[in-house]
């Protein structure tokens, strides 16, 4: 790690504002040191004018110092789909940048706890929006190639497309296996949503012809909430009686922090700290179980 406080002239040339150290290679800073330095940089970032060289230095250094959070989060998706790790890290970095731009020290929460959900959420959106083809077992992937060759060979001799039975006899397989292979082959590539839903309809968007996009249902926004509630339920059960009561008063009865303080005989500030600690515990548990 190369961290040193620059002389005034050097700091000005580098774009480092007063009160911040000049860091040669922020990406090499250990995570523990990055957490401490991040608080200092966030404190100064809030006082700097956006768009100035000093602001860009503080913001860019925060990004580089916290790239370890992106690599950690991306590792959870290493074996998911066919996504390249470099692409996943780049997408996760977008989430990190969003977290940096929206973080406020007054939240009384560690930046790591605040940033990870942004990073993971961005990566999940990446898989949701770019993964189209259906994953199939290796044996069916290999069968797709054999079927393609068999169809070409038989079609040349028959002057028509071969039947399932003819394909089965040619490959020495059961008809059920051929049918399964043909169905699996449909997941090799994704068709356009603009294709006509009626296979007999002409290509293009002819008047009166509905496409798959026209009849495709939309994701139910409540599904994610249901999944989150199922994940949250056992975590709430691990809280002690007082913690559960505070959660119930705040989110169940929608009481203000001041009202909760009066009910428990403690200050509003104490309630705020307790809520932050409880929510941090629940958020950490949900990330672990995801």
Please say if the pLDDT value at position 10 is more than 50.
no
Reduced to 3 states (helix: H, G, I; strand: E, B; else coil), residue 88 is helix
Confidence band (pLDDT; 50, 70, 90) for 93?
A: very high
Please compute the mean of the pLDDT values over residues 86-90 and round it to a whole number: 88
Structure confidence at residue 67 (pLDDT): 92
Distance in angstroms (rounded) separating the CA atoms of residues 153 and 146: 11
Where is average pLDDT lowest: 104-113, 149-158, 172-181, 272-281?
A: 104-113
Where is average pLDDT lowest: 23-37, 85-99, 193-207, 257-271?
A: 193-207
**Domain segments of the chain: what residues?**
3-130, 135-188, 221-289
Distance in angstroms (rounded) separating the CA atoms of residues 98 and 69: 13
The CATH class of the 3-130 domain is mainly alpha
Provide the percentage of residues in the chain whose pLDDT is more than 90: 18
- pTM for this entry: 0.43
Provide the percentage of residues in the chain whose pLDDT is more than 70: 71
Where is average pLDDT lowest: 68-77, 173-182, 208-217?
A: 208-217
Question: Do residues 53 and 15 make contact, with C-beta atoms less than 8 angstroms apart?
Answer: yes
Structure confidence at residue 13 (pLDDT): 42
Structure confidence at residue 7 (pLDDT): 33
Reduced to 3 states (helix: H, G, I; strand: E, B; else coil), residue 23 is strand
139-148 pLDDT, tens digit per residue, is: 776 787 888 8
Structure confidence at residue 188 (pLDDT): 52
Taking Cα atoms as reference points, which of 281, 189, 207, 269 lies closest to residue 244? 281
Query: Is CATH 1.10.10.10 the classification given to domain 221-289?
Result: yes
CATH code at 135-188:
1.10.10.10
Domain 3-130 and domain 221-289 have a common topology: no
218-271 pLDDT, tens digit per residue, is: 666 665 666 666 777 788 888 898 998 998 898 888 889 999 999 999 999 999
Please compute the mean of the pLDDT values over residues 18-40 and round it to a whole number: 84
151-206 pLDDT, tens digit per residue, is: 888 988 888 888 989 999 999 988 888 888 887 766 555 555 565 555 444 444 44
Distance in angstroms (rounded) separating the CA atoms of residues 124 and 88: 10
Structure confidence at residue 267 (pLDDT): 92
Helix extents (H) in the chain: 8-14, 31-45, 53-65, 67-75, 85-102, 111-130, 138-158, 164-171, 175-185, 212-215, 221-237, 241-247, 257-264, 268-289
State how far the alpha carbon of 49 is from the alpha carbons of 54, 140, 174, in Å: 8, 58, 71
């Amino acid at each position: 790690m190369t961290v040193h406080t620059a002389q005034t002239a050097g700091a000005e040339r580098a774009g480092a504002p007063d009160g911040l150290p000049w860091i040669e290679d922020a990406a090499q800073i250990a995570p523990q040191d990055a957490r401490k330095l991040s608080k200092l940089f966030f404190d100064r970032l809030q006082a700097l004018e956006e768009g100035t060289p000093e602001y860009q230095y503080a913001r860019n250094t925060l990004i580089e110092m916290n790239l370890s959070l992106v690599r950690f989060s991306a590792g959870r998706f290493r074996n998911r789909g066919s996504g390249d790790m470099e692409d996943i890290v780049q997408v996760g970095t977008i989430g990190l940048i969003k977290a940096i731009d929206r973080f406020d020290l007054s939240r009384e929460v560690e930046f790591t706890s605040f940033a990870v959900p942004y990073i993971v959420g961005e990566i999940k959106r990446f898989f949701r929006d770019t993964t189209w083809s259906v994953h199939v077992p290796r044996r069916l992937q290999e069968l797709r190639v054999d079927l393609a060759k068999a169809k070409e060979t038989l079609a040349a001799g028959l002057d028509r497309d071969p039947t399932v039975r003819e394909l089965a006899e040619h490959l020495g397989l059961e008809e059920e296996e051929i049918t399964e292979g043909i169905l699996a082959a449909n997941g090799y590539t994704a068709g356009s949503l603009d294709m006509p839903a009626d296979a007999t309809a002409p290509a293009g968007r002819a008047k009166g012809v509905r496409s798959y996009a026209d009849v495709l249902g939309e994701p139910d926004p409540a599904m994610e909430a249901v999944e989150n509630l199922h994940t949250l339920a056992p975590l709430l059960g691990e809280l002690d009686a007082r913690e559960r009561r505070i959660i119930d008063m705040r989110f169940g009865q929608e009481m203000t922090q001041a009202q909760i303080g009066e009910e428990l005989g403690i200050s509003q500030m104490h309630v705020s700290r307790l809520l932050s600690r409880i929510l941090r515990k629940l958020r950490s548990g949900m990330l672990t179980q995801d």
